[in-house]
Amino acid sequence: MIPNPPEVARGWPLQLRRAFEMFGQEHLLGGQTPDQVVAEMDAAGIDLAILTGLVEGDFAVPNDTVAEWVGAFPDRFAGRCCVDPRDPAAACRELERCVRELGFGSLQVLPYAFGFPFSDRLYYPLFAKCVELAVPVVTQVGHTGSLLPSEPGRPIYLDRVALDFPELVIVGGHIGWPWTEEMLALAWKHPNVYVDASAHLPSRYPAAFVEFVSGAGADKALFGTDYPMLRMDRTVQSVLELGLDEDRLDKFLYRNAAKVYSLDPRPRADA
């Protein structure tokens, strides 16, 4: 989930504004307050959301904006850091600040935004820092909704990194479509690799992904929305219609994410 306050919403670049239009969320280009987002979470039955910063070229949703929202609702939001990998030393310092000072629990890297695949050595200092700080790294895999090249997001690039960093927990976000089976093969192969379903409405999940969640991948798949691109209430309701049994549904919606991100899967006393 990306914080979208009015001061951020006014600056969304053209390629990202198009993504809002693709998902029918143009009305959110005016921005939101954290109170409004929490109200939507309540309506959808979502207890806790991970907020992430964003660095896409020269556009950014600052990590400090994430920290402000987490500070406003610490029982409803957790923070994720995003950095510019083009200066690895500065990126590592920012990651350490976000984890040690802001309390964030994961890092996001976006290969499509800079044209460097996930296996590029530019990211390796960040991966080593994640291992040192004991936080997972999340990356976008699959096609891009924004008008930027999709090829850097091929899931196969995770394979080399998982081999080089067996202690690094890696989450491939966005299912990896149209290379979904490639992503699922890596999640099956590597103990430290997971796949999340953000940016895809559950009613449109590829059949291979639904089979994975229902069977061999029940412990390796995480639910997500990529809000504000997808509506929370519609996405949650669509998950409930997949026909998953109670145990697998609980893993997909709560327990797997709690394990990967060191979160309490039931953070609220009334949940």
What mean pLDDT comes out for the span 14-36? 82
pLDDT at 266 over 60: no
Alpha-carbon 125 to chain mean position: 21
Q: What is the mean pLDDT of the chain?
A: 93
Higher pLDDT, 210 or 19: 210
Under the banding of pLDDT at 50, 70 and 90, the label for residue 268 is very low
Domain limits, the chain: 6-260
pLDDT at 270 over 50: no
Using CA atoms, how far residue 256 sits from 88, 102, 247, in Å, is 30, 24, 11
pLDDT at 269 over 70: no
Three-class SS of the chain? CCCCCHHHHCCCCHHHHHHHHHCCCHHHHHCCCHHHHHHHHHHHCCCCEEEECEEECCEEECHHHHHHHHHHCCCCEEEEEECCCCCHHHHHHHHHHHHHCCCCCCEEECHHHHCCCCCCHHHHHHHHHHHHHCCCEEEECCCCCCCCCCHHHCCCHHHHHHHHCCCCCEEEECCCCCCHHHHHHHHHHCCCEEEECCCCCHHHCCHHHHHHHHCCCCCCEECCCCCCCCCHHHHHHHHHCCCCCHHHHHHHHHHHHHHHCCCCCCCCCCC
Percent of the chain with pLDDT over 90: 81
Closest CA to 234 of 46, 17, 16, 4: 46
Q: What is the pLDDT of residues 151-202, one digit of tens each?
A: 999 999 999 999 999 999 999 999 999 999 999 999 999 999 999 999 899 9
Indicate the pTM of the whole model.
0.94
pLDDT at position 134 is: 98
Angle between helices 180-189 and 157-164 (to 10 degrees): 10
CATH code of the region 6-260: 3.20.20.140
What mean pLDDT comes out for the span 266-270? 43
253 contacts 223 by C-beta, under 8 angstroms: yes
Higher pLDDT, 22 or 100: 100
Q: What is the pLDDT of residues 33-81, one digit of tens each?
A: 999 999 999 999 999 999 999 998 788 999 999 999 999 999 999 999 9
What mean pLDDT comes out for the span 83-103? 97
pLDDT at position 230 is: 87
What mean pLDDT comes out for the span 21-42? 88
